[in-house]
């Protein structure tokens, strides 16, 4: 027995008790620091996943706003009807994305790649010579592109949160959102360039190529369905 650090009955004084939190922190194995904007998010263990995620956000917004803002020139027929259908198609797209990303057979990775592929294929269909002159095919392709972009938005919002570890999660999602804003700004510029160059199919070709490239990159992202949120770099997995 010890009182105020002094031994009783000739016992030598024992060591002062350590706080439990300090002891737990000492037992945890050290891992690389996650500080700084780029040094944290673009750490070697996170770099590819972060860049592929940013590309997906950029492309999704690029296609989504490109179709939404250009529904009057991309679609055929009544402008108000096309705008209403374009808005309505977001409801089944969101429901479909919510259903697929929670299924074990699909998960986050395949769901994101699937919806990006739908958007890309629909946009490239519009770029086929002669296809854009068929009004029915033109309207279906535009709405399918909007369907795919909307579904991808649902997936990337969930997946991005689960990719980044806790120390940089808010920063990673914020940078993803910034990439989406850049995509939204680029979309009308591509349309303006297509008009200036006299190449009307350039806009849909750019949307389709970007979406398909992003779909390929998305297949390389880690699957996070059913896994605990990563608390640090040691918790990251490549599959």
Classify the C-alpha dihedral 115-117-122-123 as positive or negative: positive
Nearest to 140 by CA among 156, 115, 121, 116: 121
Contact yes or no for 34/167 (Cβ under 8 A):
yes
**Domains (range + CATH), the chain:** 48-74+99-221 (1.20.1250.20)
**Residue 220: phi, psi to the nearest 5?**
-90, -5
**Residue 49: phi, psi to the nearest 5?**
-60, -40
Nearest to 117 by CA among 208, 48, 220, 222: 208
Q: What is the pLDDT of residue 25?
A: 47
Q: What is the pLDDT of residue 26?
A: 55
> Which residue in the block uniquely carries the two structure tokens 């690389």?
32
Q: What is the pTM of this model?
A: 0.79
Q: What is the pLDDT of residue 18?
A: 55
What are the mean pLDDT values of the chain's consecutive 10-residue runs (239 residues total)? 50 54 51 54 79 95 89 70 87 94 90 95 82 73 91 94 88 92 93 83 89 95 88 70
At 213, list the tokens: 């490239």
Long-range contacts of 85-92 (CB under 8 A, 24+ apart): 85/139, 85/143, 86/142, 86/143, 86/146, 89/143, 89/146, 89/147, 89/150, 90/146, 90/147, 90/150, 92/147
Q: What is the pLDDT of residue 9?
A: 54
């Amino acid at each position: 027995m010890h009182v105020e650090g002094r031994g009783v009955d000739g016992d030598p004084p024992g060591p002062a008790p350590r706080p439990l939190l300090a002891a737990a922190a000492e037992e945890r194995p050290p891992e690389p620091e996650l500080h700084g904007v780029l040094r944290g998010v673009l750490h070697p263990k996170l770099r590819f996943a972060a860049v592929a995620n940013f590309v997906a956000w950029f492309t999704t917004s690029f296609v989504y706003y490109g179709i939404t803002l250009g529904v009057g020139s991309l679609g055929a027929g009544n402008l108000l009807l096309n705008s209403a259908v374009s808005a309505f198609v977001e409801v089944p797209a969101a429901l479909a994305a919510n259903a697929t990303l929670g299924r074990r057979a699909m998960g986050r990775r395949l769901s994101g790649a699937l919806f990006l592929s739908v958007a890309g294929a629909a946009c490239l269909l519009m770029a086929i010579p002669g296809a854009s002159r068929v009004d029915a095919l033109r309207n279906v392709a535009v709405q399918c592109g909007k369907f795919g972009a909307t579904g991808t938005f649902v997936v990337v919002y969930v997946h991005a949160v689960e990719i980044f570890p806790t120390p940089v999660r808010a920063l990673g999602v914020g940078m993803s959102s910034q990439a989406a804003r850049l995509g939204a700004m680029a979309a009308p510029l591509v349309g303006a360039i297509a008009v200036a160059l006299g190449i009307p199919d350039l806009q849909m070709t750019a949307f389709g190529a970007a979406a398909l490239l992003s779909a390929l990159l998305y297949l390389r992202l880690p699957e996070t369905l059913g896994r605990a949120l990563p608390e640090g770099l040691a918790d990251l997995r490549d599959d």
